[in-house]
Amino acid sequence: MTACVLHHSAPVEKNPLQIQEDLAVPEPGPDSVLIRVSACGVCRTDLHVVEGELPIKKMPVIPGHQIVGVVEKAGSAVFGVAPGDRVGVAWLHHTCGVCKYCKSGKENLCERADFTGYTVNGGYATHAVAPAAFVYHIPPGFKDCQAAPLLCAGIIGYRALKLASLHAGASLGIYGFGAAAHVALQVARFWGIDVYACTRDERHRKLALELGAVWAGGATEPPPNRLDGAIIFAPAGEIVPAALRALDKGGTLVLGGIHMSHIPPLDYDWLYHERVVRSVANNTREDGREFLDLAVRIPVETHTESFPLREANRALNALKHDAIRGAGVLICN
């Protein structure tokens, strides 16, 4: 099989992913499936893995955790998924099932979880394996490359939105307008929530308005109204004070990324009146299933920019420099 493999983390400008064509196709274990990958989304977390902003868990590693493909082979103990099924693999690759988090409906916080494209190989490849219990059937109606960004950008955006606890008629600020934001905006609109997009990039502000944001402004520009909730998707800690100052009493600020630069000191006045700041970590399988059902009903439209698998380095560079409108996707077969 062919894959883009990371041997040493480095800034993406140095094109650290190596194309390897002579790799053995992995054999699925009894509980796993082998997937012929057709598309794999490019996520900011991949950038954090490749550039070494997250601690190294596996090296070399094949990144990529928004995999869409067709099952080629199923292990002997697999049920519910069969060869020929179109499936997706997300960031949450496997959980232990027995820790206190797994047992209380918080498998996203599992102490022994595996993560696709980070602690195990992912989908920047022509083939990938995943435990059958952790793959999703991709609903018809989405092409492979449109479905790929739903698997992390979509699911994490959805979880972030749920954690912001908003009702119809509420106002939501979205800070940073990449792949996750452009999906979360569509879900928020479907729920009757007014979206205010705060982002440094003019093209992203334009896309936000096209998708139905009521207002779009700069990354730290105060929106015209107080926000009932806000989500920061940009990995920039310096946005936290601006978002808190825009938040109404009792509002929740959700930090949607796995990594964030240093957060400046906060003034207690910005937090007082029961404002909440919280992060989002990973997703549960329930989040994934709920979101995919919802994505069909809305229906979510993903704006994607495709890159051949061999150009994964170029895709990561484009992502880092805000040059992708919507979501980047690698075409793997």
Q: Which residues bind Zn ion (CB under 5 A)?
A: 43, 45, 95-96, 99, 102, 110, 152
183 or 244: CB nearest Zn ion = 183
Report which DSSP code applies to 69: E
3-state SS track over 253-266 = EEECCCCCCCCCCC
Q: What are phi and psi of 293, to 5 degrees?
A: -60, -45
What's the closest the beta carbon of residue 64 comes to Zn ion, in angstroms?
A: 9
What's the closest the beta carbon of residue 304 comes to Zn ion, in angstroms?
A: 15
23 or 54: CB nearest Zn ion = 54
247 or 312: CB nearest Zn ion = 312
- How many other β-carbons are positioned within 10 Å of the β-carbon of residue 122? 29
Burial class (CB in 10 A: 0-12, 13-18, 19+), 225: middle
Contact 62, 122 (CB under 8 A): yes
Question: What distances in angstroms separate CA 314 from CA 13, 17, 94, one per listed residue?
Answer: 9, 10, 29
Name residue 276's beta-bridge partners. Answer: 252
d(CA 51, CA 46) in angstroms, rounded, equals 8
What's the closest the beta carbon of residue 226 comes to Zn ion, in angstroms?
A: 30
223 or 326: CB nearest Zn ion = 326
95 or 171: CB nearest Zn ion = 95
**Which amino acid, 105?**
G
What's the closest the beta carbon of residue 217 comes to Zn ion, in angstroms?
A: 26
Which tokens sit at 50? 């490749």
246 or 318: CB nearest Zn ion = 318
What's the closest the beta carbon of residue 284 comes to Zn ion, in angstroms?
A: 11
d(CA 195, CA 171) in angstroms, rounded, equals 6
d(CA 307, CA 21) in angstroms, rounded, equals 18
What's the closest the beta carbon of residue 270 comes to Zn ion, in angstroms?
A: 29
